[in-house]
């Protein structure tokens, strides 16, 4: 009976996050945006920020500054079944579809704003569009967290995908590029780094690599370095 339980136990698991809890920003944003739509425009920060920072740090924003990602890691991770993220949502085709779909919906909603009126009415309509997109995608992300894994949404998030496209393909292509470095002493036996990776990646694959782990979806959260039992992993430049 015990052996059966071990076999059915999820490979991935919850791991406490270091740093500050910033998911409160998302909650406040959604609450205030309902009453004051113009506040929705603030979401542009989380649309431009990850893309800009990816130029020299990859998807660092997703692992450190994104309020929604922070909520997935700090709150939902405790209750998620941590099942494998479906492979098809990581494919280039599906991710391209999501980018086009979201921006098409975004464009359609913007076209319905009161452009002729201008002023606060127009800005409120634009803010409502941003707010609606954030609300809907957050709901989708929360649902997927309870079906698969906490960061399932992050695996095909449009802004995360664009950040992935923009990020340099080699660490040497950008000075100060942040990455995970794995010592050649790693035997890849415990795979603890993969167990705690919120993106369900395999950092141990980069053992001994001078440039480190360069998977474009690595969010540089540092969980793998913290969970390594023999401390032979580090994150830095």
Q: What is the pLDDT of residue 189?
A: 80
What span, in angstroms and rounded, lies between the C-alpha atoms of 20 and 142? 20
Please give the CATH architecture assigned to the domain spanning 171-236. 2-Layer Sandwich (3.30)
Q: Is 207 helix (H, G, I), strand (E, B) or coil?
A: strand
Confidence check: pLDDT of 4 > 60:
no
What span, in angstroms and rounded, lies between the C-alpha atoms of 60 and 53? 7
Nearest residue to 89 (alpha-carbon basis) of 164, 161, 146, 139: 161
* % pLDDT > 90, the chain: 66
Mean pLDDT along residues 41-58: 92
Residues near 149 by Cβ (< 8 Å), separated by ≥ 6? Answer: 12, 80, 81, 82, 83, 84, 85, 198, 200
What span, in angstroms and rounded, lies between the C-alpha atoms of 39 and 199? 30
Neighbours of 167 (CB within 10 A): 24
DSSP label at residue 179: E
Q: What is the 3-state secondary structure (H, E, C) of 181-203?
A: EECCCCCCCCCHHHHHCCCCCCH
**DSSP labels, 84-97:** PPPGGGGSHHHHHH
CA 74 to chain centre: 13
**Residue 41 tokens, joined:** 């425009």
Q: What is the pLDDT of residue 176?
A: 65
What is the location of CATH 3.30.70.20 in the chain? 171-236
Confidence check: pLDDT of 17 > 60:
yes
Q: What is the pLDDT of residues 163-200, one digit of tens each?
A: 999 988 776 556 667 789 998 888 878 899 999 999 99
> How does strand 233-236 pair with strand 179-182?
antiparallel
Mean pLDDT along residues 131-144: 97
234: part of which helix (H) or strand (E)? strand 233-236
Q: What is the pLDDT of residue 178?
A: 79
Please tell me which residue, 165 or 115, carries the higher pLDDT value. Answer: 165
Contact predicate 68/144, CB 8 Å: no
Q: What is the pLDDT of residue 119?
A: 80
Mean pLDDT along residues 117-125: 85
What span, in angstroms and rounded, lies between the C-alpha atoms of 206 and 215? 9
Contact predicate 198/219, CB 8 Å: yes
Please tell me which residue, 138 or 57, carries the higher pLDDT value. Answer: 138
* % pLDDT > 70, the chain: 94
Confidence check: pLDDT of 2 > 50:
no
**Residue 179 tokens, joined:** 């990455």
């Amino acid at each position: 009976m015990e052996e059966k339980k071990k076999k059915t136990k999820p490979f991935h698991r919850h791991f406490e996050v270091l740093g500050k809890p910033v998911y409160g920003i998302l909650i406040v944003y959604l609450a205030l945006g309902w009453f004051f739509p113009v506040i929705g425009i603030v979401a542009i920060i989380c649309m431009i920020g990850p893309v800009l920072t990816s130029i020299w740090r990859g998807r660092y924003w997703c692992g450190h500054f994104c309020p929604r990602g922070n909520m997935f890691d700090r709150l939902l991770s405790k209750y998620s079944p941590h099942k494998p993220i479906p492979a098809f949502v990581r494919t280039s085709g599906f991710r391209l579809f999501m980018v086009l779909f979201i921006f098409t919906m975004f464009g359609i909603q913007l076209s319905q704003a009161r452009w002729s009126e201008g002023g606060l009415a127009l800005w409120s309509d634009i803010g409502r569009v941003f707010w609606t997109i954030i609300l809907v995608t957050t709901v989708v992300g929360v649902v997927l967290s309870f079906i698969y894994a906490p960061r399932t949404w992050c695996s095909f998030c449009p802004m995360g995908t664009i950040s992935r496209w923009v990020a340099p393909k080699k660490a040497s292509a950008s000075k100060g590029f942040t990455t995970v470095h794995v010592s050649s002493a790693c035997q890849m036996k415990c795979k603890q780094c993969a167990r705690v990776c919120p993106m369900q990646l395999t950092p141990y694959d980069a053992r001994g690599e001078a440039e480190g782990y360069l998977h474009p979806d690595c969010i540089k959260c540092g969980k793998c370095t913290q969970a390594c039992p023999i401390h032979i992993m580090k994150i830095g430049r």
